[in-house]
């Protein structure tokens, strides 16, 4: 129960970059919420009730009204709690923020993930190229300290995967997807982002996640 | 050049449901624009200049500032021209509209398309089931005359594919994806939607599109 009598719940799991987006969104706004950890192998009644369509996390439940899809949730958070806006006020800048967040979903996530988590060598190589190409566009797009300028905005939150998960999985796969040599501006952004006090307190601890994904990777490689 | 001195251009092709969304958005707002037909087999300098990342249509160019991705463009149109809003003002309702538009993109488009345009029988059957399942969710979601209530809104525009393209491709494939028997509310919605005067004047003529997609289908079937 938040201070103003509103009930805000987040159904999630610790390893998910999509759930992390919502945690960042709520924490950057200073919204109090209850995190309800889910077991995706054994889906709860609550998850099936609140997200009967996709049966996935994250689900934000605000005063019993559920919302799913991480970018839709972020827009809702920005529309509902007006402090520290994520999206610029100017329509063209808003459109650009939405464009780049969608670009990350469509062009970065699967490509970088499959650069590591595939047991087909050709598939991995193709995805490394696609990840490189996508990150290069973001490198060129980055003009200030953050994508949002001086403050963390919508694209930065959407890009948490690039700051935290990409370095994690590149270490697992022994790759260089995001390095200072390849993408200096984006690498510098990732450091600034992860060192932001609210981001720092929001991110899950690295070691258990590393172990979790490393075990998946080892299983996959063993199945080759 | 629109009446108010603003220049609005739309780079598009006639057969694209994504381009049609933008045309509907502009026409429902009463925005004057110049349609610049593109040849996607031989991409124009203009397309490559305005959409260097995806090199696809639609691209809306407003006073020389380009925007791509049809749902991002629709949000921009709604943010820029305030008359006849597509998105509800209330944050939760806005989130639901965004959720359903994304649902159509993720769950309806590919499934219904591949119900017809695949030369793998099993793949076709799987996609018919997925299309049915997705359309059933929309059938249950439809409460009023339109998804937007009494007026056409964001979800209705996103769903133009269901009203116009689904009946077209089901006729080509000899399927029943959207019929009055299967989804009476959604079928009725499609008729109301297509009979709306502004939608009516926006839609491309059916016969050339039918011939265009039928030729693709015949080629595909011949390659089985």
> At residue A163, does pLDDT exceed 60?
yes
B214 touches chain A (CB under 8 A): no
Is the pLDDT at A195 greater than 60? The verdict is yes
Nearest by CB to residue B95, choosing from A72, A91, A102, is A72
Task: Note the helical H segments in chain B.
Answer: 17-29, 45-50, 70-80, 91-103, 110-116, 121-141, 154-158, 160, 166-173, 184-195, 197-202, 206-222
Number of residues that this document lists for chain A? 224
**Regarding predicted confidence, which is higher, A34 or B4?**
A34
Residues in chain B, how many?
Answer: 224
B119 touches chain A (CB under 8 A): no
SS3 per-residue string spanning B34-83: EEEECCCCCCCHHHHHHCCCCCCCCEEEECCEEEECHHHHHHHHHHHCCC
Spell out the residues 6+ positions from residue B20 whose beta carbon is closer than 8 angstroms to its own. Answer: B160, B164, B202, B203, B204
- 């609140």: which residue's tokens? A50
Q: Is the dihedral of CA A33, A23, A57, B101 positive or negative?
A: positive
Report which of A77, A213, A64, A89 is spatially closest to residue A148, judged by C-alpha positions: A89
Q: Element (H or E) spanning A68, and its range?
A: strand A65-68
Cβ neighbours of B156 (radius 10 Å): 28
Contacts of A103 in chain B (CB under 8 A): 53
pLDDT tens digits for range A10-24: 999 988 999 999 999
Q: Phi and psi dihedrals of A94, rounded to 5?
A: -60, -45
Computed on alpha carbons and rounded to an integer, the radius of gyration of chain A in Å comes to 18
- Please count the CA atoms within 13 angstroms of the CA of B33 that sit on its side-chain side: 26
- Find chain A residues with C-beta within 8 A of B91's C-beta: 76, 79-80
Does B87 contact A at CB distance below 8 Å?
no
> What is the pLDDT, as a whole number, of residue B1?
43
Whether B102 sits inside 8 A of A73 (CB atoms) is no
Helix (H, G, I), strand (E, B) or coil at B17: helix
* Residues A67 and A98: beta-carbon distance below 8 Å: no
Instruction: Confirm or reject contact between A103 and chain B (CB < 8 A).
Output: yes
- Please list the residues that pair with A62 across neighbouring strands: A8, A65
Tens place of pLDDT per residue across chain B (224 aa): 445 678 999 999 988 999 999 999 999 999 999 999 999 999 999 999 999 999 999 999 999 999 999 999 999 999 999 999 999 999 999 999 999 999 999 999 999 999 999 989 999 999 999 999 999 999 999 999 999 999 999 999 999 999 999 999 999 999 999 999 999 999 999 999 999 999 999 999 999 999 999 999 999 988 86
Model confidence at A129: pLDDT above 80: yes
Beta bridge partner(s), residue A9: A34, A61
Burial of A130 (0-12, 13-18, 19+ CB in 10 A): middle
For testing contact with chain A, the best of B52, B53, B85, B109 (most A CBs within 10 A):
B53
Domains of chain A with CATH codes: 8-80 (3.40.30.10), 91-222 (1.20.1050.10)
Does A137 sit within 8 Å of B53, measured CB to CB? yes
């Amino acid at each position: 129960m938040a201070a103003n009598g509103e009930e805000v719940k987040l159904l999630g799991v610790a390893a998910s970059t999509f759930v992390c987006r919502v945690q960042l969104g709520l924490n950057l706004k200073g919204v109090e919420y209850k995190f309800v950890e889910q077991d995706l192998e054994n889906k709860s009644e609550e998850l099936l009730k609140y997200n009967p369509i996709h049966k996935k996390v994250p689900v934000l439940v605000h005063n019993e009204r559920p919302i799913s899809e991480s970018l839709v949730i972020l827009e809702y958070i920005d529309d509902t709690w007006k402090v520290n806006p994520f999206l610029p006020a100017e329509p063209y800048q808003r459109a650009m923020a939405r464009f780049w967040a969608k670009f990350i979903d469509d062009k970065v996530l699967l490509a970088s993930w499959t650069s590591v988590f595939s047991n087909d060598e050709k598939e991995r190589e193709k995805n490394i190229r696609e990840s490189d190409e996508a990150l290069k566009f973001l490198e060129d797009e980055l003009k200030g300290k953050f994508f949002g300028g001086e403050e963390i905005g919508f694209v930065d939150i959407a890009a948490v995967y690039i700051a935290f998960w990409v370095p994690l999985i590149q270490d697992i796969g022994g790759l260089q997807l995001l390095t200072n040599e390849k993408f200096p501006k984006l690498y510098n952004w990732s450091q600034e982002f992860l060192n932001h006090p609210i981001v720092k307190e929001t991110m899950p601890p690295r070691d258990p996640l590393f172990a979790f994904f490393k075990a998946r990777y080892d299983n996959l490689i063993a199945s080759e």
